[in-house]
Copies of this chain bind each other. A is one copy, B any other.
């Protein structure tokens, strides 16, 4: 019933707890013979070290906290998969929280993870987050921090992102090359760094190609399918319709796609469409969606590796490097 402890082993072996502990950790002071006896007994009694007690002693656990807006979202669950892979290989376990894109809940998540004394945190901030005090608190508490995808520029920590500006720029240039001239953008919320960068890429592409930037063609909104639908609806109400839409991400692009289809508007003949992320389902619809690939799994692996690296450093020499992974324009039939 109860877990076997070091003390149990010590009593059984007529040794001290210190010696058993050292034998278990293969300390050079302990004789081969004693080690063998201890190891044999540990195996026999199915001894499993109590990581909680170890963590308390070491003032640091083997857990890594992960905070994402929503676990059930292909992009984030794929990132988490990548994080878990790397963490597992390094002997760490991940604690996963979702903020539900709520700033308040994100704060509670960081508190819960800090209270659990995680060694580090990997976080992708909520849509509402504009104040970063909770992230600074984490750092002051000596918890390593790496931001990914939805990062906060102002927070001086390692970040793992993709080249959002370039991804957007390339996507919009492609539309222009294809002959589209009235290109709208469903832009997400201006709070988020990724959204600003993608929007800047969009605007730069227009500017570099001597096309006007029209305010009515830029619609702020959320990151889900519904936001794509409502955005598309607003665009279709304009007197001068766009001939192409660049969406902040694939869920939004999908919302646009479904809405346009319901309205009987041909893609790409009446309106072309480009998304961002390369979620698997962009390949399933007809016409298939042109999108910008974001290597989700690799983002997870990279962020986790970066965190592990920081864990090995002292609190003073935490890296603040920003790692930018490449995007790739995936040409398909929606543009």
Interface residues of A (CB under 8 A from B): 1-3, 46, 48-53, 55-56, 61-63, 70-74, 77-78, 80-81, 84, 88, 93-98, 111-117, 137, 140-142, 254, 280-281, 284-286, 297, 315
Collect the chain B residues with CB atoms within 8 Å of residue A140's CB.
Answer: 1
A55-B49 Cα distance, complex, nearest whole Å: 15
Interface centre among A49, A71, A116 (most CB of B within 10 A): A71
A219-B53 Cα distance, complex, nearest whole Å: 50
Q: How far is the CB of A112 from chain B (nearest CB, A)?
A: 6
A3-B118 Cα distance, complex, nearest whole Å: 13
Copies of this chain in the oligomer: 2
A74-B70 Cα distance, complex, nearest whole Å: 12
A72-B114 Cα distance, complex, nearest whole Å: 26
A281-B52 Cα distance, complex, nearest whole Å: 42
Contacts A61-B52, A114-B48; is A3 near B141 (CB within 8 Å)?
Answer: yes
Collect the chain B residues with CB atoms within 8 Å of residue A1's CB.
Answer: 140-142, 315
Q: How far is the CB of A249 from chain B (nearest CB, A)?
A: 15
Collect the chain B residues with CB atoms within 8 Å of residue A284's CB.
Answer: 254, 281, 284-285
A71-B73 Cα distance, complex, nearest whole Å: 11
Other A-B contacts than A3-B141, A286-B286, 14 sampled, CB-CB below 8 A, are: A50-B115, A51-B117, A52-B61, A52-B117, A63-B116, A72-B297, A74-B77, A77-B77, A77-B80, A84-B96, A84-B98, A93-B97, A96-B96, A281-B284
